[in-house]
Amino acid sequence: MAKTILGKMLPFLIFLILWEGIAVTVQLRRHVAFPTPWEVAGTLASLLSGAQLSDAPIMRHVGDSLLRWVNGFGIASVIGIGYGLLAGWSKKLRDATLPILHILQLVPGLAWIPVAILCFGIGEAATVAMIAVTAFTPIALNVLSGVRQLDETLLRAARMMGANGRTLLIRVMLPGALPATLSGLRIGLGNGWRVLVAAEMIVGTGTGLGYAIIQARWTLDYQAAFACIGIICLIGLTVEQLIFKPLEKRTIDRWCLSSDGS
Amino acid sequence: MVPFKRRLMITIGNLRHRYGANGSTGPVILDDVSLSLEKGEFVCVLGPSGCGKTTLLNLIAGFTTPSAGTLFFNGEKIAGPGPDRGVVFQEATLFPWLTVLKNVAFGLEQQGKKSCACTEAAMHYLELVGMAAHADAYPHTLSGGMKQRVAIARVLALEPDVLLMDEPFSALDANTRERLQKELLRLWGMFKPTVFYVTHSVEEAAFLADRVIIMGPAPQSIHADKHIELAHPRERFSPEMGEVIQALRRDLDTLPCCIGPMPPIKGEQQKGPLLCPSPELSERL
């Protein structure tokens, strides 16, 4: 038992040691205040206990970022899964639209900033739209390939039993493409989160973790900036552990579906 | 004429099928197939691999449309798959995300029945195939034979007029296969559907069928059409069965196999140029 806990903590420990090493080296060589893990932990604790950052408590930044991300990612998931299913089903739709997705996939998330600002102005809608666009492509492409890889006889069996249209989409293709869908959602989630933080730095949303980081940088409060980065990582880990892992256990593992879709 | 015609379940007239994008460019797989299946008949289709047995089954199931010819089921043109023609595939193809019970209930729900009635009916058919104890199991926990039992229950629950079976027991071990053949005959006796059973095993055809259709490669698609007069239940190793099997074997032997007629075997020293992988190598030899 003790061994497994140690094993799980090991990467974390190595990371802290590396960080400490880099901090000390940078401080000695460049004579700048590179925050050490201990200083950041202290800042994090004071932020979490209510200290203000850029005129707002840290939980306000976290909450606003999460809200934008949930909105953007939610829109991307619904449209992405819906499109993936339909395009997997209809060759006409696929032929007419798939190249567009391949092009969209090549556009870096931040390149959407001018487009988003032109469409929605500076503010919430622009940020949410950027997250939605960047998260959409990996979700849609993965769902699509999941549907395409589905065993043809499984679909034949369903049609033989009288299933068609919506039933085929919702009750056969959707669960059948689930392993691919989950990996698509994972990628979309990561992409969306990254573009969110970056967009908050540039679009000037007034709150949010990205905004807090860039403000802390202007005021040379590097410890707070590092603390915010730490919070971003923690949120990512929490989502993986609380949403994706349990979802995977309840579906793919239980049904013994392999991740290649067969 | 009319009462006689009513007994016909499936009528196939001058059916022709080619592979390829629109069924007009690829190789001809079925050529001029005419066939009718009577109500309640147990028909086995034998033939070398690649002769179009499964293609014919898929056409009757409605998964594919023929390039030319007519295909009638109960007097109506076959336009697509439907629960009146239940299919048992070579692999069980159960939905891995549904329990055994829900897999069987799936087809019933598509008929618009209430879900509680579906569950009850599904349980009934699972009992018939001896799988009631595994109703809540997921398919991946079952053996191949158990999965195929569930696949049969799933199809029987649809109360189909025709049962299309595509080598359903060929992936199972010999013992399980023989048990399931017996059970299939028992269930056939109960429901009397028309059975169209594709197999490559002469013994299986002789044990199961009332009528055996031997198919060959196109253009000789239907090679022979024989009735087996032995009464059920049949004894696998009786002399009568032996005769039937021998006769079927003789018929099959006259057909070319998948690679066409074998060339005569020549002496060791006569190495033909076809056996050499490249010109350089043959020069060195």
Q: Where are the domains of chain B?
A: 2-84+160-258
Q: Which of A91, A149, A154, A161 to mutate to test the interface with B (most CBs of B within 10 A)?
A: A161
Q: What percent of chain A has pLDDT over 90?
A: 52
Number of C-alpha atoms within 13 angstroms, CB side, residue B154? Answer: 32
What mean pLDDT comes out for the span A214-222?
Answer: 87
> For residue B187, what pLDDT is reported?
94
The residues, any chain, with a CB within 8 Å of residue B96's CB and separated by 6 or more, are: A255, A256, A257, B138, B139, B140
Residue B32 dihedral angles phi and psi, to the nearest 5°: 55, 55
Using the structure block, give the residue that is written with the tokens 């004071």.
A46
Shortest CA gap B56–chain A (Å)? 15
> For residue B279, what pLDDT is reported?
41
Q: What percent of chain A has pLDDT over 70?
A: 97
- Examine the pLDDT at B29 and tell me if it is beyond 50: yes
Q: Which chain B residues are closer than 8 Å to A251 by Cβ?
A: 97
CATH number of B2-84+160-258: 3.40.50.300
**Closest by Cα among B197, B195, B111, B104 to B151:** B104
Number of C-alpha atoms within 13 angstroms, CB side, residue B112? Answer: 0
CA B101 to chain centroid = 25
DSSP conformation class of B285? -
- B82 to A162: CB separation less than 8 angstroms, yes or no: yes
pLDDT tens, position by position, B86-140:
999 999 999 999 999 999 999 999 988 777 788 999 999 999 999 999 999 999 9
> For residue B1, what pLDDT is reported?
39
> For residue B277, what pLDDT is reported?
40
Q: Which of A150, A160, A252 to mutate to test the interface with B (most CBs of B within 10 A)?
A: A160
- A162 to B111: CB separation less than 8 angstroms, yes or no: yes
> For residue A52, what pLDDT is reported?
83
> For residue B276, what pLDDT is reported?
37
Reported as a pLDDT band with limits 50, 70 and 90, residue B282 is very low
- Strand-strand pairing, B42-46 and B211-215: parallel
- Strand-strand pairing, B42-46 and B194-198: parallel
**CA A147 to CA B74: how far, in whole Å?**
34
Q: Does A162 touch chain B (CB under 8 A)?
A: yes
Q: In the predicted model, what is the mean pLDDT of chain B?
A: 86
The residues, any chain, with a CB within 8 Å of residue B135's CB and separated by 6 or more, are: B99, B100, B101, B122, B123, B126
- Examine the pLDDT at B155 and tell me if it is beyond 80: yes
Reported as a pLDDT band with limits 50, 70 and 90, residue B268 is very low
Using the structure block, give the residue that is written with the tokens 């909450």.
A63
Q: Which chain A residues are closer than 8 Å to B97 by Cβ?
A: 175-176, 178, 251, 255, 257
- Examine the pLDDT at B215 and tell me if it is beyond 60: yes
Q: Which residue of A has its CA nearest to B105?
A: A161
Phi/psi-derived region of residue A54, left when phi > 0, alpha when psi is between -120 and 50, beta in every other case: left
Shortest CA gap B16–chain A (Å)? 22
**Count of Cβ atoms closer than 10 Å to residue A140 Cβ:** 29
The residues facing A57 across adjacent strands are A52
Using the structure block, give the residue that is written with the tokens 């306000």.
A60
Q: What is the ipTM of this complex?
A: 0.84
What mean pLDDT comes out for the span B151-171?
Answer: 95
Q: Does A160 touch chain B (CB under 8 A)?
A: yes
- Examine the pLDDT at B22 and tell me if it is beyond 70: no
Q: Which residue of B has its CA nearest to A177?
A: B97
- Examine the pLDDT at A214 and tell me if it is beyond 80: yes
Using the structure block, give the residue that is written with the tokens 């090549």.
A106
Using the structure block, give the residue that is written with the tokens 């009397």.
B192
**Closest by Cα among B162, B165, B219, B168 to B193:** B162
Using the structure block, give the residue that is written with the tokens 């692999």.
B91
> For residue A5, what pLDDT is reported?
84
Nearest residue, CB atoms, B138 vs list A160, A163, A254: A254
**CA A73 to CA A191: how far, in whole Å?**
10
- Contact in structure between A80 and A139 (CB atoms under 8 Å): yes
Nearest residue, CB atoms, B95 vs list A154, A160, A251: A154
Q: Which chain B residues are closer than 8 Å to A158 by Cβ?
A: 95, 106
Q: Which residue of A has its CA nearest to B86?
A: A160
Exposed/middle/buried for residue A244 (C-beta within 10 Å: 0-12, 13-18, 19+): middle
**CA A217 to CA A69: how far, in whole Å?**
23
- B96 to A257: CB separation less than 8 angstroms, yes or no: yes
Choices 3.30.830.10, 3.40.50.10540, 3.30.420.40, 1.10.3720.10: CATH for A39-255:
1.10.3720.10
Dihedral through CA A77, CA A79, CA A85, CA A89, nearest 10?
A: -160
What mean pLDDT comes out for the span B192-218?
Answer: 93
Q: Which chain B residues are closer than 8 Å to A160 by Cβ?
A: 61, 81-83, 85-87
Q: Which chain A residues are closer than 8 Å to B105 by Cβ?
A: none
Shortest CA gap A162–chain B (Å)? 5
- B97 to A175: CB separation less than 8 angstroms, yes or no: yes
- Examine the pLDDT at B194 and tell me if it is beyond 60: yes
- Examine the pLDDT at B24 and tell me if it is beyond 90: no
What mean pLDDT comes out for the span B153-165?
Answer: 95
Rounded to 5°, the CA angle A150-A151-A152 comes to 105
Q: Which chain B residues are closer than 8 Å to A178 by Cβ?
A: 97
- A160 to B86: CB separation less than 8 angstroms, yes or no: yes
- Contact in structure between B258 and B250 (CB atoms under 8 Å): no
Sheet hosting strand B68-73, strand order edge to edge: B28-38, B8-18, B68-73, B76-77
Nearest residue, CB atoms, A160 vs list B87, B96, B97: B87
- Examine the pLDDT at B46 and tell me if it is beyond 90: yes
How close are the terminal C-alpha atoms of chain A, in Å?
36
Q: Where are the domains of chain A?
A: 1-34, 39-255
Q: Which chain B residues are closer than 8 Å to A151 by Cβ?
A: 93
Nearest residue, CB atoms, B63 vs list A151, A156, A176: A156
3-state secondary structure A82-146: HHHHHHHHCHHHHHHHHHHHHHHHHCCHHHHHHHHHHHHCCCHHHHHHHHHHHHHHHHHHHHHHH
- Examine the pLDDT at B239 and tell me if it is beyond 80: yes
- Examine the pLDDT at A258 and tell me if it is beyond 70: no
Q: Which chain A residues are closer than 8 Å to B61 by Cβ?
A: 156, 160
**CA A173 to CA A81: how far, in whole Å?**
11
Q: Which chain A residues are closer than 8 Å to B91 by Cβ?
A: 153
Using the structure block, give the residue that is written with the tokens 């299913």.
A85
pLDDT tens, position by position, A7-30:
888 998 999 999 999 999 999 999
Residue B255 dihedral angles phi and psi, to the nearest 5°: -90, 145
**Closest by Cα among A148, A146, A120 to A133:** A120
pLDDT tens, position by position, A92-119:
999 999 999 999 989 888 888 889 889 9
Q: What percent of chain B has pLDDT over 90?
A: 67
The residues, any chain, with a CB within 8 Å of residue B256's CB and separated by 6 or more, are: B48, B216, B217
Identify the contact set of chain B against chain A, taking CB-CB distances under 8 A.
61, 63, 80-83, 85-87, 89, 91, 93, 95-97, 106-107, 110-111, 138, 140, 154, 158
- A161 to B110: CB separation less than 8 angstroms, yes or no: yes
Sequential DSSP letters for A171-201 = IIIHHHTHHHHHHHHHHHHHHHHHHHHHHHH
In this predicted model, which residue has the larger pLDDT, A171 or B257? A171
- Examine the pLDDT at B281 and tell me if it is beyond 90: no
Hey, CA dihedral for B158, B160, B163, B166, is it positive or negative? negative
> For residue A54, what pLDDT is reported?
79
